[in-house]
Every structure is written in C-alpha cells, then in structure tokens.
Amino acid sequence: KQWYQRRVRGTMVSGDLSIGELIKLRENIGTKKFEAITQKSDRTAETEATPTTSDAAPTSPQFKRSNKRAPREMSSKKKVSVIRELKTAKRTTRDPRFDDLSGTFNENVFEGSYGFIQDIRSEEKSKLQAELKKCKDPKKREELVRLINKMNTSEKAQQVKSERQQLKAQSRKRAMDNVKQGKNPYFAKKSELRKSELKNKFEKLKKEGKVDKYLAKRRKLNLQKDKKSL
C-alpha cells in the first residue's frame, strides 16, 4: 500500500499510471483514501499550471499622486478627446415662502411694509366706478360691475381681518398690564373674541342703520341652508 501511495503521489500528476493500476490501487487502499490522493494531486497540478507573477504579462504603469488633493497624472500616450464632460455643481432651487432661511412670516410687519397696496386698490376702484358711469356697452358694464363687487368683498374681508387683529392686540395688552401689576395674566379665548367681534359689528351696523337689512340677509341664508339639508 505504501509503495502504491508513493507512486501515486509522484506520478499521478503526470498521468503515468494506467487504468488497471488505478483500479488495483483503489481496491488495495480503499475508495476514500484513493479520492483524497487524487484530489490532492489535482490541486498540485493546478498550482503548477498557473503562471507566476514574473511570468505574467506586463501591466500598464500605475501613476501615483504625491498628495490626494493633487490632480491625477495621466499617460501622455493616451489621446485626449475633443469633447470633455465637465462636472458642474448641481443647482438646487429654493422657494423663499417655505424655506426657513428666509425667516418667519410676520403679518403685522407685512401689512406695515406693503400698506401702499391698499391705496393702489382704492385708486383702481375709483377709476372703475368712473368708467362704469360713462360706459354704455352692456357686456362691458357687466364686467366692470363684477370687478367692483370683487374689490368690495376683498375690502370687507380685509377690514374684518384687521378688526380681529385689533381685538387680539387689545387682549394681549390687557394681559401684559396685569403682569406689570402683579396679577395673573388672562388671555381671551377664541369664543370670547368672537363674541366681542360680533358686538362691535352690531354696534357699527346700528350706527349706520343697517341692522334690519343685515338680519334679513342672515335669515335668507339660513333658509337656504335648511332647504339644502332637507
């Protein structure tokens, strides 16, 4: 057995053993040992077949940079293309309305800075009213009336908004006065502000003598809502 093993280790790689000798060897030493010896001989054959680093083909020279920030050294034998792809920084668009870098929106400061817009609108409204008096075309008159009504509704909405802001400012001022006097500050609720707003509105309508007209309009709107719900 030892003679066969020595012979296999020395000659299996070159393939000197015949098929009969291999079968006889497998019967003598066993199948497991035979497979182990043959696998080992196959590995040695692969290692001998692979070329060494000295025999390998010469690779292209690797250019190394002296500093990682230095430009990469390129081979002078390689042709430079006429069209080059320049890497530019990606532009990011920014919306100032929703960006924190633009600061927070302060309504009071905005109205103070752009209060002249209201004056421009009032001038435009007076021009439209003067044009409506002179106009005789029914289609154009209808368009002018629509624009004037639109401006009136926006003015009313702006007036209601300013009144609410005044009520909030008064409530804040009363709370600050209580703090200065050593009392607990009291901030009015939304329902209380709404009640005071309605009170001011009715007082204003009473002075102008439009309370009945306003109540009739409200009744009409409520009836329309009830009809829709039914």
Query: Quick check: pTM over 0.75?
Result: no
Residue 65 and residue 70: Cα distance in Å, rounded? 7
Q: Is 82 helix (H, G, I), strand (E, B) or coil?
A: coil
Do 12 and 38 contact (CB within 8 A), yes or no? Answer: yes
Q: What is the pLDDT of residue 39?
A: 66
Residue 46 and residue 32: Cα distance in Å, rounded? 22
Q: What is the pLDDT of residue 7?
A: 47
Average pLDDT along the chain, 230 residues, taken 10 residues at a time: 45 55 75 71 54 50 72 77 73 79 79 86 91 89 91 88 84 86 81 84 83 84 80
Residue 92, CB half-sphere, CA atoms under 13 Å: how many?
3
Q: What is the pLDDT of residue 5?
A: 46
Q: What is the pLDDT of residue 205?
A: 83
